[in-house]
Amino acid sequence: MKLILLGAPGAGKGTQAEIICEKLSIPTISTGNIIREAMKNGTEMGLKAKAAVEAGQLVSDDVVIGIIKERLAKDDCNNGFILDGFPRTIPQAEALDSLGVEIDCVLDIDVKDEAIAARLGGRRVCPACGASYHLEYKKPAKDGICNLCGAELIQRKDDAPETVLERLAIYHEQTEPLKNYYSKTGKLKSVPGQEEVADTTKLVFEALGI
């Protein structure tokens, strides 16, 4: 299955991506994670992206399209993949089309802005492995510690309240039009994001028929 996950920042795309990835044994490609990894490693791309990411703005289309081209060319994508956080603009969607990638489904996880602000405020992430947690909705087994690798959890800089508002504004302006773009292809499905991860997963599996 070739799947795109759409939704506002903090709608739970990454969490659902991990679960679908495990169920279907296909890789998740998260442009956000790839960019953060590059920032951590201080690569040229990472250094270029840093200011935009930390201000809650989008990295340029050229850069993310380059990332996706390179990633989709790897063998593990042959049997399908989950795109988490790409495309985020119409030009990115057009670039994906022009790569000749046949997407099976575009799944939108719909969450209201008020709920997003609360979710991102409570989000904590693992700086070592990228796993994501929430103080209320997805607690690690041990407070402040990553279940997967034992590193100490941190709050992302772009999850600060002022930055969240900027990210939501950009989402409505640049990413939300993708719903219309993909509904024209008949591939768009939408599920309302729930408070409990498992409840959203149930709706997601139903929508995907898996």
Catalytic residue numbers? 13, 88, 123, 156, 167
Residue 190 binds: one of ligand ADP, Zn ion, none (C-beta under 5 to 8 A by kind)? none
* CA of residue 73 relative to chain centroid, distance: 20
> Which of the listed partners (Zn ion, ligand ADP, none) does 149 bind, with a CB threshold of 5 to 8 Å by partner kind?
Zn ion
- Pick 44 or 186: Cβ nearer ligand ADP: 44
- Kindly tell me which of 57 and 194 has the beta carbon lying closer to ligand ADP: 57
C-alpha dist (Å) from residue 162 to 24, 38, 57, 121, 195 = 37, 24, 12, 11, 23
Across the beta sheet with 2-7, what order do the strands follow?
Answer: 28-30, 81-84, 2-7, 105-110, 188-192
Q: How far is the CB of 21 from Zn ion (least distance, A)?
A: 16
Tell the smallest beta-carbon distance from residue 190 to ligand ADP (Å).
Answer: 17
Q: Which residues bind ligand ADP (CB under 6 A)?
A: 9-10, 31-32, 35, 52-53, 56-59, 64, 85-86, 88, 92, 158, 167
* φ and ψ at residue 152, rounded to 5 degrees: -80, 130
Tokens in use for 204? 């997601």
152: helix, strand or coil: strand
- When asked if residue 129 is in the footprint of Zn ion (CB under 5 A), the reply is yes
Residue identified by tokens 């997601």 is 204
Spatial CA neighbour of 35 closest among 97, 91, 88, 105:
88
- Helices 13-24 and 197-208 cross at an angle (nearest 10°) of 60
Q: Which does 193 bind (CB under 5 to 8 A by kind): Zn ion, ligand ADP, none?
A: none
CB of 103 to ligand ADP, least distance (A): 15
Instruction: Please tell me the number of Cα atoms within 13 Å of 199 on its side-chain side.
Output: 7
One of 64, 67, 131, 188 touching Zn ion (CB under 5 A): 131
47 binds Zn ion (CB under 5 A): no
- Smallest gap, in angstroms, from Cβ of residue 206 to ligand ADP? 23
- Range in contact with Zn ion (rule: CB under 5 A) among 78-86, 103-111, 143-151, 190-198: 143-151
Q: Identify what 108 binds: ligand ADP, Zn ion, none; CB under 5 to 8 Å per kind.
A: none
